[in-house]
Amino acid sequence: MPDGNAICVVGGGLNGAAAALALAEAGWPVVLVDRHKPKPSPSALGVEIRNVALSPASRAFLEDIGAWVAGAPYVRMHVWESLGTASLDFHASETGRAELGWIVEVGALIERLWARIESHPRVQVRFGSVDGLEVHDSGVTLRVDGEAVSCALLVAADGAASPVRNLTATRDARYPTGHAALVTAVRTERPHEAVAYQRFLPGGPLALLPSRLPDVSSVVWSQPPALASSRVEASKEAFLADLTCASGRVLGQVLETDARFAFPLVQHLAQSFVAAPRVLLIGDAARVVHPLAGLGVNLGFEDAQALLATLPVSGDPGLADWRTFARKRQARARAMLRVMSALRLLYGSDSPWLGWVRNVGVRTVSESRGLKSQIMREAMGLGPMATSMR
């Protein structure tokens, strides 16, 4: 059984596994609970369909806990829209860095995290479903398939449908986007050359993200659910032609596609990141933002770093200043949701007036090195707003 100061982490995905490993590396006894060990997704074109865009700040965090895996660096991001004339180019060199970030396959990163976890002397893994919890003055009793697991602090990283959040009756505000995300991997006529592409279309934004293979890119295409379903079910030839057109042939003709998947995009924000005394929410259990931001997993890694910074050196971890932790992390989440709402309003309308505003705004940012550099540094997790809220 765990000792009296043990920290229980529920959820063994990227954010939960990283948090559990970081806590163990910091000297805390940890119990990691999940229904089963995560599995990789399909990879017919040689790269996994599921991937994440990791910032330099996230890379530094993963390196600190010995969990970094090689990803595909991207050195430039090109952003443009189908209805306008202005475009934005973000170059890593404008921030004095070699890369803006890395596209990392989820399966490889999960495998690395779990290899470290399963061999770590301070981590105990429990497989099973969470079906109850009780909060006491001195700790938390979690029930996993009916068996009691006791800990001093419970950290829930169990996803957007978080059982822990539901068991604590913590409300969460939902922000439907009216969109679904179509995801796949494609092989293209021209190499991506370590450039990430984002095109705003009338139906929603399309992202083409570079992989470790020179002619394979990941696709994240936000669009109305009915359209996403029809594109998933369309013939391969029809989909390839559709995507080639939608991408503006920026990588030439799209030649091949992996399996296609679509899932609804619903943003949410928990009422509080402290779900109950001694119970914290992090990652998607706390908030989900539109993948357009490319920040989801990075925000979860920020949560883990803020968690570590708030914990005492020793003693009862439940007595730390978790209200301040929650206030800072929720403020960061609210800021990201406001940005996503503004972008959805700005790019989701075909109004000529808003089109003019978009083009003027894009040109203003493009011509201001200082403003563009600051936007990039915040997105990379290195700006003052990102660092002050960790």
What pLDDT digit, counting tens, does each position of 145-186 carry? 999 999 999 999 999 999 999 999 999 998 888 899 999 999
At 281, which CATH number?
Answer: 3.50.50.60
Q: Is position 251 within any domain? A: no
Tokens of 19: 């948090």
pLDDT at 175: 83
Q: Is position 227 within any domain? A: no
pLDDT at 351: 47
Kind and range of the H or E run holding 206 = strand 204-210
Q: Is position 223 within any domain? A: no
Residue environment code for 237-261, b if the CB has 16+ CB neighbours within 10 A, otherwise e: eebbebbbebbeebbeebeebbebb
pLDDT at 95: 80
Q: Is position 252 within any domain? A: no
Residues of the chain with pLDDT under 50: 1, 349, 351-360, 362, 365-367, 371-372
Q: Is position 143 within any domain? A: yes
Looking up tokens 């940005």 gives 339
Q: Is position 40 within any domain? A: yes
Q: Is position 160 within any domain? A: yes
pTM score, whole prediction: 0.89
What pLDDT digit, counting tens, does each position of 290-310 carry? 776 567 799 999 999 999 999
Kind and range of the H or E run holding 97 = none
Q: Is position 352 within any domain? A: yes
From the list 35, 34, 33, 37, the residue with the least C-alpha distance to 149 is 33
Could you tell me the residue range of the domain that residue 289 belongs to?
7-173+266-388
pLDDT at 356: 40
CA–CA distance, 301 with 305 (Å, rounded to integer): 6
pLDDT at 353: 42
> What domain count does the chain have?
1
